[in-house]
Amino acid sequence: MKKYKHILKNRKDAAIKLMDVIPMQKLKEDAWKIVAVSNGGLELASFLKGKNSLDFLFSEPIYAPNNKECEIARVTEKEEIVINEELVYSFGIQYDYIYGEAHRKHEEQILSSIYQYRKGRPFVSMRDEIVLLVDDGSETGLKFMAALKTILGMKPKAVYIAVPVIPADVLELLEPYSDDIYCLHEIGDYVQTSLYYEEFEDIDEERIEKLLEEK
């Protein structure tokens, strides 16, 4: 882990380095749709987008009943759900609980975010578009998997992923569902995303609103 600690200065630094592995000319010429899957991903994506459109696909975690730090599933604003089947099985969690929590999170948190940050505008269709999903890291891959399930259901032309740091097992998980993954560091003993940045600031509500207004 020490080998990778603070390998990136901040999200802007990560974006600049990602530009060396992302085909930026094609991104500009083909007008890719850039979609962030987290607050930090939105900040990072803002440095990549240029004149391309930038949007946010909202999602919320679903935690184990007795462990509010253990994410067992994720639901998106399109009510698509991705479940970590191994955790659900090992903890003996009922699917009714997951679906109930997904509905509650969608109604109480996701819809609120849509009205606050997009003024109620629904997520636009990605049909026949080239989409680039962006995050600043990925502990479990659930955000990306939920986004992939949602976007692929819209019949896009292609879906790519850009992420500076990613666990080796998550990279392997995501590869079959995306057309390509642009990453800087594939890490075998991934701990948590913040450890790989010197500066890892929280992205507050005002910043999110500003970034989405700039789209």
Chain segment 11-70, per-residue pLDDT in tens: 999 999 999 999 999 999 999 999 999 999 999 999 999 999 999 999 999 999 988 889
- Mean pLDDT (whole number) for 156-178: 97
Among residues of the chain, what percentage have pLDDT more than 90?
93
pLDDT of residue 112: 96
Measured distance CA(62)–CA(101) in Å, rounded? 7
- The residues with which 70 forms a beta bridge, in sequence order, are none
The CB-side HSE value for 1 (13 A sphere, CA atoms) comes to 9
Q: What is the pTM of this model?
A: 0.95
Asked, for residue 4, whether it belongs to a domain, the answer is: no
pLDDT class of 200 with cuts at 50, 70, 90: very high
* 103 shares a domain with 195: no
Measured distance CA(115)–CA(112) in Å, rounded? 5
* Last residue of one domain, picked from the residues 76, 99, 118: 118
Chain segment 81-109, per-residue pLDDT in tens: 999 999 999 999 999 999 999 999 999 99
Measured distance CA(19)–CA(7) in Å, rounded? 16
pLDDT of residue 1: 53
Q: Return all residues near 24 (Cβ < 8 A) that are at least 6 apart.
A: none
Provide the domain limits for residue 89.
Answer: 60-118
* Last residue of one domain, picked from the residues 118, 142, 159: 118
Measured distance CA(38)–CA(143) in Å, rounded? 8
pLDDT of residue 58: 98
Measured distance CA(50)–CA(43) in Å, rounded? 13
pLDDT class of 162 with cuts at 50, 70, 90: very high
Report how many domains make up the chain: 2
Distances from the Cα of 127 to the Cαs of 9, 124, 161, 204, in angstroms?
A: 36, 9, 17, 31
Among residues of the chain, what percentage have pLDDT more than 70?
99
Query: In this structure, what CATH number is given to the domain that contains residue 146?
Result: 3.40.50.2020
| Secondary structure, 3-state, 14-69 | HHHHHCCCCCHHHHHHCCCEEEECCHHHHHHHHHHCCCCCEEECCEEEEEECCEEE
Asked, for residue 174, whether it belongs to a domain, the answer is: yes
* Amino acid identity, position 17: K
pLDDT of residue 205: 93
pLDDT of residue 215: 55
Checking if the pLDDT of 77 tops 60, the result is yes
